[in-house]
């Protein structure tokens, strides 16, 4: 921890950055911290509770943080994949932020997790992580901890849903999404929901009804899933942000599986690797696109 704190203090003191975005102890576990003075860096922590993807705070639509000046952001490998996605999409500039990578041994499903990491409390994404030691960051701190345990929880749940008949599946999602009141926490907490004007906020024409009735909610969650296809880094911040506990990462997880199976693509830390969306190939396997 001293290494992380010392590095962030130096970045602030040397004027490399004006603000450090990291993790601190909060009233209910670890929470995001925005620190502008070197002394404040003493608050920084990093452990299995560092669940949030802090790249969300670099979003171009967050004027209030951008106004503070160049930021150093504490990132896990999976968070770097979100940064790379935003670079690929020209939403950020590489020099716009200093990435302070931390070697990662996996995180809990919740920022208030406790005890040793096990297959019950580990985040679904951590099991097959290939980014525990990110290579495209500006600084890399910490020792590489043991690999996290694997959770089969979500894969099993997705398989269960796939085995439903279309009518059962529709009924399932209709019931689950009935809890959605469109507070937009899933969108706001997402590091990749960067649109200045979201499709769901457009009124002329109205593409997605704002009412939280079945039609409006299905439209919104379907649009959200498709807009994140090949972009979602599976940080799970949408699901954690949902105040009603809607299992949103089942949707994004399934879309992620399709992207791997059909396009051989999963978002990584290299922004130069082209993503399926925004790429054109004359040898495309799909005839209609050639």
Partner 1 sequence: MSNEKTESLFITDADLAALASDLIAAGTRVVAPVPSGDDEGRTHYRALSSADRFALDGPLPCGSLKEFFLPPTEVLLRWRRDQGKVEVDPAPPDAPATVILGAAPCDVAGPPVVDRVMDWDFRDEPWFARREATVVIARACPGRDASCFCTAVGLSPSSTRGADIMLSPTGESGGGHAVRVLTDKGADLVKRHRARFGAARGAAGAERLAAEAESRVAGNLDIDPRAVRSWLAANFDHPLWRRLADRCHGCGACAAVCPACHCFDIVDEPDGTDHGARRRNWDMCQFSLFTLHGSGHNPRQTQSARIRQRVMHKFSIYPERFGEILCTGCGRCARACPGGMDLPEILRELQRLAGGKSTAGGA
Binding residues for partner 1, per CB under 8 A? Answer: 26-28, 31-34, 52, 56-57, 63-65, 68, 109-111, 120, 153, 179, 181-185, 187-189, 201, 206, 209-213, 216, 237, 240-245, 247
Give 38 or 212: the residue with its C-beta nearer to partner 1: 212
Which of 97, 121, 99, 98 minimizes the C-alpha distance to 47? 121
Cis peptide before 205 (omega within 30 of 0): yes
Nearest residue (CB) to partner 1, 111 versus 232: 111
Strands 29-35 and 19-26, sheet pairing:
antiparallel
Which residues are CB-neighbours of 55 under 8 A, at least 6 positions away? 73, 75, 79, 80, 82, 83, 86, 191
Distance CA 210, CA 266 (A): 31
Both tokens of residue 109? 């499903």
Chain centroid to Cα 243, Å, comes to 17
Minimal distance, residue 89 CB to partner 1, in Å:
20
CB of 33 to partner 1, least distance (A): 7
**Smallest gap from residue 207 Cβ to partner 1 (A):** 12
Smaller CB distance to partner 1: residue 188 or 276?
188
Residue placing its CB nearer to partner 1 in the complex, 97 or 189: 189
For 29, list phi and psi in degrees, rounded to 5.
95, -160
CB of 164 to partner 1, least distance (A): 17
List the beta bridge partners of residue 35: 20
* Residue 240 C-beta: closest distance to partner 1, Å: 6
Task: Please name the residues in contact with 10: beta carbons below 8 A apart, sequence gap of 6 or more.
Answer: none
Tell me the closest approach of the beta carbon of residue 188 to partner 1, in angstroms.
Answer: 3
**CB of 28 or CB of 287, closer to partner 1:** 28
CB nearer to partner 1: pick between 79 and 269 = 79
């Amino acid at each position: 921890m001293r290494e992380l704190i010392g590095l962030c203090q130096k970045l602030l003191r040397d004027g490399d950055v004006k603000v450090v975005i990291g993790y601190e102890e909060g009233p209910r576990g670890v929470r995001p911290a925005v620190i502008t003075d070197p002394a404040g860096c003493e608050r920084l922590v990093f452990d299995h509770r560092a669940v949030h993807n802090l790249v969300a705070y670099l979003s171009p639509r967050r004027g209030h943080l951008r106004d503070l000046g160049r930021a150093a952001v504490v990132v896990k490998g999976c968070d770097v994949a979100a940064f790379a996605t935003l670079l690929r999409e020209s939403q950020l500039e590489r020099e716009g932020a200093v990435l302070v990578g931390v070697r990662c041994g996996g995180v809990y499903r919740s920022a208030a997790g406790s005890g040793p990491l096990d297959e019950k409390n580990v985040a679904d994404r951590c099991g097959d992580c290939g980014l525990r030691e990110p290579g495209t960051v500006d600084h890399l701190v910490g020792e590489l901890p043991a690999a996290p345990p694997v959770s089969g929880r979500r894969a099993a749940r997705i398989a269960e849903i796939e085995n439903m008949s279309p009518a059962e599946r529709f009924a399932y999602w209709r019931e689950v999404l009935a809890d959605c009141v469109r507070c937009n926490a899933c969108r706001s907490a997402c590091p990749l929901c960067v649109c200045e004007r979201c499709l769901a906020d457009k009124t002329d024409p109205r593409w997605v009804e704002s009412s939280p009735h079945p039609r409006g909610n299905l439209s919104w969650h379907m649009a959200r899933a498709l807009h994140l296809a090949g972009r979602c880094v599976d940080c799970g911040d949408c699901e954690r942000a949902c105040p009603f506990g809607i299992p949103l990462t089942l949707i994004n997880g399934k879309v992620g599986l399709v992207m791997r199976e059909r396009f051989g693509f999963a978002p990584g830390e290299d922004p130069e690797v082209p993503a399926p969306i925004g790429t054109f190939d004359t040898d495309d396997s799909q005839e209609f696109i050639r």
